[in-house]
Amino acid sequence: MIRKKRNINYGLLFIAPFLIGLLVFRMIPFLYTLVMSFTNWNLMTGEKSFNGIDNYKRLLTDKTFMISLKNTVKLWAMNIFPRLAIAMLCAVIFTQSRIKGKGLFKLIFYFPNLVNSATIAILAALLMGWQNGYLNRLLLQMNLIRQPFNWLGQPVTAQRIVAAIIWWQWFGYSAIMFATGILNVSTEYLEAATVDGANSWQKFWKITFPLIRPTVAYVFLTTLIGGLQNFEIPRVITDGLGAPDKSLLTMTMQMHTLAFRSMQYGYGSAYAIGIFMTTAVFAGVSYRFINNKES
């Protein structure tokens, strides 16, 4: 550390642009959103005054909020467990088995994560579309179906498809994270266990998994926080409508629609704070759950 007195101010000087940016583009917008959430600001009606906790009362009785919350959690829950399981399996293979081409497989598994979500969503809409969708054309041509099936038009299949896309985009990322976590665990333990005659299954559950638990917890929490902000795929596929039957309407989508389509800054902000609280509660509960298990 440089501790000479004349240097003291330079440290602050170096972090100043970053801090000012953080203040202007992150902290003030957050506080501004919080303040707006206590107003009835609406560009359409021209209203703009404080209305206390009216927005929050409305939020708690808003059926759409409950629906969007349920959808968001459901889309996350549907993909998280298959994602963690497959990613863990890949990570164990990548770190512990002596097969060729591991690098290439890693490269391939991570690729879906790099293509922008808008492209993925459009491709999904083309492949799973109704009258001219690729899958329907294929099934018709093979005489497996007589009528084109509206995959994205039925709530159950639409939600499964979106959850599957998110799984597909993210399992490779989780696999790399887990693989790194395993590599950071000293291999001595594993070698000692092999000498003691432990099989792979025992080695994984008795040694590897407990040691990489922090990585698993980190991946779980970040996917939870990220998953609750789910926006791009359902938004692009449904053009922000969340059709069919609002089954693809996520919390952030509805907030975006409220604020930037119906111009309700006040209620939209309350909606945003609602998302924040929901995320905090979910993250807090899972954090405690993970911590309890660890101790």
- Could you tell me if 121 and 236 are in contact, meaning their C-beta atoms sit under 8 angstroms apart? yes
Q: How far is the CB of 110 from another protein (least distance, A)?
A: 7
* 284 scored as a contact of another protein (CB under 8 A): no
Choose between 56 and 110: whose C-beta lies nearer to another protein: 110
Phi, psi of 39 (to 5 degrees): -125, 165
- The rounded distance, in Å, linking the Cα atoms of 271 and 112 is 31
Q: How far is the CB of 154 from another protein (least distance, A)?
A: 18
- The rounded distance, in Å, linking the Cα atoms of 210 and 200 is 14
Choose between 223 and 247: whose C-beta lies nearer to another protein: 223
- Could you tell me if 275 and 252 are in contact, meaning their C-beta atoms sit under 8 angstroms apart? yes
* 239 scored as a contact of another protein (CB under 8 A): yes
Query: Cβ neighbours of residue 295 under 8 Å, at least 6 residues apart?
Result: none
* 62 scored as a contact of another protein (CB under 8 A): no
User: Residues 53, 60, 77, 138: which binds another protein (CB under 8 A)?
Assistant: 138
User: Residues 24, 53, 77, 281: which binds another protein (CB under 8 A)?
Assistant: 24
Choose between 70 and 256: whose C-beta lies nearer to another protein: 256
Count of CA atoms in the C-beta half-sphere (13 A) of 241: 8
End-to-end CA distance of the chain: 36
* 53 scored as a contact of another protein (CB under 8 A): no
- The rounded distance, in Å, linking the Cα atoms of 182 and 180 is 5
| Stretch of residues binding another protein (CB under 8 A), selected from 10-18, 62-70, 75-83, 190-198 | 10-18
* 29 scored as a contact of another protein (CB under 8 A): yes
* 33 scored as a contact of another protein (CB under 8 A): yes
- The rounded distance, in Å, linking the Cα atoms of 110 and 167 is 12
Lookup: tokens for 87: 């990613």
| Stretch of residues binding another protein (CB under 8 A), selected from 42-50, 58-66, 67-75, 174-182 | 174-182
User: Residues 121, 161, 163, 249: which binds another protein (CB under 8 A)?
Assistant: 121
User: Residues 80, 125, 162, 190: which binds another protein (CB under 8 A)?
Assistant: 125
Bridge partners (DSSP) of residue 39 are: 50
Burial of 115 (0-12, 13-18, 19+ CB in 10 A): exposed
* 97 scored as a contact of another protein (CB under 8 A): yes
Residue 212 in 3-state DSSP? coil
Residues 191-220 that bind another protein (CB under 8 A): 215, 218-219
| Stretch of residues binding another protein (CB under 8 A), selected from 51-59, 65-73, 168-176, 189-197 | 168-176
* 43 scored as a contact of another protein (CB under 8 A): no
Nearest to 52 by CA among 40, 43, 62, 67: 40
**Count of residues that bind another protein according to CB under 8 A:** 101
* 27 scored as a contact of another protein (CB under 8 A): yes
User: Residues 86, 185, 193, 198: which binds another protein (CB under 8 A)?
Assistant: 86
